[in-house]
Amino acid sequence: MYAVVKIGGHQYRVSEGDVLFVDKQSDETDQSLTFDHVLLANDDGDVTVGKPVIEGASIEATLLDNVKSDKVIVFKKKRRKGYRVKRGHRQPMSQIEINKISLSGGTNTKKKKAKKAEKEETSAAPEKEQQVSTDMTAKDAIAHISDTPLDELKGFVTEDEDRVTVQRAWESKQEG
């Protein structure tokens, strides 16, 4: 099980037991932290995506230590002027360990998926009979238009045109 969580403006993919370095959270170590901006969760193949966050989902973590990240050197120079400035910066970071991923708000996703699957199955059967493939070649499309009654040509001909206009337009496009 893993989740994508937003901590301090950054997104992290976390699992239970992971140790992360994130932006500084608090001065006290061994403190319990809770993050509720869970954007995505995967529970053994059952993926839940938030819009924008998953309601009721949270991640519990423990603050292990406050450290500084690697030094970033900022070097400024203006050539031929004798101006050189070298400064360094070390961002304060917190080392956290993920204890628990809770998806209390996302438990009904299986029910939603089952309902969606039922709707797709019931609605897909009638559509398959009416749906015409759009991956035809031009000759197949012309043959389909000329062989099919006008009231069944929903995707090929608009209601105010007749089939001769469409076929002639296609032939003139091929000639020109």
Interval 86-94 mean pLDDT: 96
CA dist 110 and 121 (Å) reads 16
Give the CA-trace dihedral at 88, 94, 97, 100, to 10 degrees. -130
Which sequence spans correspond to the domains of the chain? Answer: 2-76+86-106, 132-176
pLDDT of residue 107: 46
Closest to 52 measured CA to CA, from 5, 120, 110, 104: 5
pLDDT of residue 135: 65
pLDDT of residue 104: 80
Closest to 60 measured CA to CA, from 109, 96, 24, 107: 96
Give the pLDDT band (50/70/90) at residue 13.
very high
Interval 158-162 mean pLDDT: 57
Question: To the nearest whole number, what is the mean pLDDT of the chain?
Answer: 81
Interval 83-89 mean pLDDT: 97
**Where is 43: in which H helix or E strand?**
strand 38-43
